[in-house]
Amino acid sequence: MNYNKKMYPIWILLALSLLYFIFYIIPILMGVFYSFTHWNIFSATYCGLYNYKSILTNTMLRLSIKNTFVFAILASFFKVFLGLILAIFLNRKIVAKNFLRTIYFSPAVINNVAVAMIFTAILNPSRGILNVFLRYLGLDFLAQNWLTDSQIALFSVIGIEVWKWSGFCMVIFIAGLQRVL
């Protein structure tokens, strides 16, 4: 066997190790270094554990962690639950089954920026389609500041997340149901 053929895997391994070191290990080490510094665009001065103390004593940290868990638990539950209900419904023999599957799955392939722009327009407090529609029906008391009121903004975002990904869960469940049956 040729010496070059034996060395080929070693050269590939070295090249990949170099890329791993440059794009993974060095940024991690830099992040650790900068976490112990007060850094601006021109200089970095050592500040010890001050940054960690600052983040751990920040009153917003608890609220952020709570909101993260509430979002993760509720959004996951409702995406899976709605996806399962849709999958059971659309696994039956109905006339427009494929069309409905496409309609329910289509939000999963829409770009997140487009979804954000669409729902910002829909949920706008003064000119949003939802509030305009509620006012038109005489239900002014239901018109809300959907994305700016701290009491309901989290639930509005959860609703958007459920809308976007429940169709994806539906497809996964349909695949499982068809495999079982």
> Is the domain of 119 the same as that of 148?
yes
Q: How confident is the model at residue 181, as a pLDDT? A: 54
> Is the domain of 131 the same as that of 167?
yes
Whole-number Å distance between alpha carbons of 170 and 180: 15
pLDDT-above-70 percentage for the chain: 98
State the angle between helix axes of 97-105 and 153-180 in degrees (0 to 180), rounded to the nearest 10: 140
Strands 37-39 and 44-46: antiparallel
Whole-number Å distance between alpha carbons of 41 and 160: 37
Question: Model-level pTM?
Answer: 0.73
Residue 66 banded pLDDT, cuts 50, 70, 90: very high
- Token readout for 93 is 């023999």
> Is the domain of 91 the same as that of 159?
yes
The size of the chain, in residues, is 181
> Is the domain of 11 the same as that of 77?
no
Whole-number Å distance between alpha carbons of 35 and 44: 10
Whole-number Å distance between alpha carbons of 160 and 121: 13
According to DSSP, residue 73 is labeled H
User: Which residues form the domain of 8?
Assistant: 3-55
**Residue at which a domain ends, from 12, 28, 55:** 55
> Is the domain of 30 the same as that of 78?
no
Q: Where are the alpha helices (DSSP H) in 94-145?
A: 97-105, 112-122, 129-136
> Is the domain of 87 the same as that of 136?
yes
- CA 139 to chain centroid, in Å, comes to 32
**Residue at which a domain ends, from 17, 36, 55:** 55
> Is the domain of 73 the same as that of 133?
yes
How many domains, in total, are found in the chain? 2
CATH number (domain holding residue 165): 1.10.3720.10
71-85 pLDDT tens trace = 999 999 999 999 999
Tell me: pLDDT of 176 over 70: yes
> Is the domain of 66 the same as that of 149?
yes
User: For residue 31, how many other CB atoms are within 10 A of its CB?
Assistant: 9
Tell me: pLDDT of 3 over 70: no
> Is the domain of 151 the same as that of 172?
yes
> Is the domain of 128 the same as that of 164?
yes
Place of tokens 């200089």: 43
**Residue at which a domain ends, from 29, 55, 81:** 55
Angle (CA) 155-157-162 rounded to 5° is 90
> Is the domain of 107 the same as that of 27?
no
51-60 pLDDT tens trace = 999 998 998 9
> Is the domain of 101 the same as that of 171?
yes
> Contact at 8 Å (CB) between 79 and 162?
yes
- Token readout for 25 is 């290990």
Tell me: pLDDT of 4 over 80: no
Which sign does the torsion angle of CA 158, 97, 106, 131 carry?
A: negative
